[in-house]
Chains A and B, each alone.
Chain A
Amino acid sequence: EVVMTQSPATLSVSPGERATLSCRASQFVSTNLAWYQQKPGQAPRLLIYGASTRATTIPARFSGSGSGTEFTLTISSLQSEDFAVYYCQQYNDWPPLTFGGGTKVEIK
Chain B
Amino acid sequence: QVQLVQSGAEVRRPGASVKVSCKTSGFMFTGYYMHWVRQAPGQGLEWMGWIDPNSGGTNYARKFQDRVTLTRETSTRTAYMELSRLRSDDRAVYYCAREVGGTVVFFDYWGQGTLVTVSS
Contacts and interface: CB of A to CB of B under 8 A. Distances in A.
If over half of A's interface residues share one DSSP class (helix, strand or loop), that class is named, otherwise mixed; here it is loop
Interface string B41-69: 00011110100000000011111000000
A87 B44 contact: yes
B50 to A, nearest CB: 9
Contact of A96 (B47, B100, B106): B47
Given A43-B113, A49-B100, A87-B45, A96 B108 contact: no
A7 to B, nearest CB: 14
Given A43-B110, A43-B112, A99 B45 contact: yes
B48 to A, nearest CB: 9
For this complex, into which size category does the number of interface residues on chain B fall? 20 to 34
Interface residues of A, number: 23
Contacts of B28: none
A82 B95 CA distance: 22
B9 interface: no
B37 to A, nearest CB: 8
Among B47, B112, B113: residue with most chain A CB under 10 A: B47
4 tightest Cβ-Cβ pairs between the two chains A and B: A43-B110, A34-B106, A91-B105, A97-B47
